[in-house]
Amino acid sequence: MAQTPSKACCNTPPVVSKGYQEKGKWTQVDNLKTYVTGPDDATAGIFVVYDIFGFFPQTLQGADILSGQHHSEQTRKFKIFMPDLFEGKPADISWYPPDTDEKGKKLGEFFSGQAEPSKNVARIDKCMKELKDSNPNIRNWGVLGYCWGGKIVNLVSKQGTIFSVAANAHPAMVDPGDAPAITIPILSIPSKGEDKDAVEKWQKGLKVKNDVQWFDDQIHGFLAARGDLEQESVKTAYEKGYSLLSNWFSENLGSQSKL
């Protein structure tokens, strides 16, 4: 289980277990449907890369929590942007876990298409160019990725990145070879679904400020689409995970400027 968040950690608002109604709005970024939440006067932004299942209530609620606008005790408030990189065609959550040949085949086909991580790096660059132009008040940008998005975070956090701070939650496709090229502070929140050896080697390869907080009693995806918030243990872990994320971005986003 992850360590208890520090006293400096931001508190999160009460988590809604079922029937969550998002508090943000929907817009277009680079012609992609995009969820936006957070105060208009925020000077820091976070670009969120969802998991392969797309927009889910758990992920939208997480974005609202991270924005900080709905909880007075959070010291920093962020504008959050989560684009629909799959353009309305995410993976079906019933395919996971891939415990049958049919599920495995469908997931394999999905990952060989638009979900191939490297194909999304250029698209994110385009989105960020538009976001920078349309949000001149945002001086610093962070990036967060769930599962599949965690791999993309590794790929976009290299030399020349627009982002100042990164984080991933239950990252998929962890490759220790990605670590030495990462140039910005990064937090990782792995679950019991990740390869412990790969994550440990990845962390050892980092040359930047970093933190790894294990939630090894939680399934892969507990902070996003696969989190069953009606289970008290999952809900508690979800709250702690978002508290860690909020604290990480509050402490680090703004420590360096990419403008």
How do residues 209-223 score in pLDDT, each as one tens digit? 999 999 999 999 999
Q: Measuring CA to CA, how many Å separate 233 from each of 68, 85, 224, 241?
A: 23, 31, 15, 12
Question: How confident is the model over 119-171, as pLDDT tens digits?
Answer: 899 999 999 999 999 999 999 999 999 999 999 999 999 999 999 999 999 99
What is the percentage of the chain residues whose pLDDT exceeds 90? 82
Q: What is the 3 state secondary structure string of 30-65? A: CCEEEEEECCCCCCEEEEEECCCCCCCHHHHHHHHH
Whether 115 is covered by a domain: the verdict is: yes
Residue carrying the six token digits 């809604």? 16
Classify residue 193: in a domain, yes or no.
Answer: yes
Q: How confident is the model at residue 258 (pLDDT cuts 50, 70, 90)?
A: very low
The arithmetic mean of pLDDT across residues 170-174, rounded, is 96
Q: What is the pLDDT of residue 70?
A: 65
Q: Does residue 259 lie in a domain region?
A: no
Does the residue 90 lie in any domain? yes
Q: Which amino acid is at 13?
A: P
Residue 94 domain-assigned (yes or no): yes
CATH at 80: 3.40.50.1820
Please write the tens of the pLDDT for every residue from 188-216: 999 999 999 999 999 999 999 999 999 99
Domain that holds residue 111: 25-252
Is 136 part of a structural domain of the chain? yes
pTM of the model: 0.92
pLDDT of residue 73: 56
Q: How many domains does the chain have?
A: 1
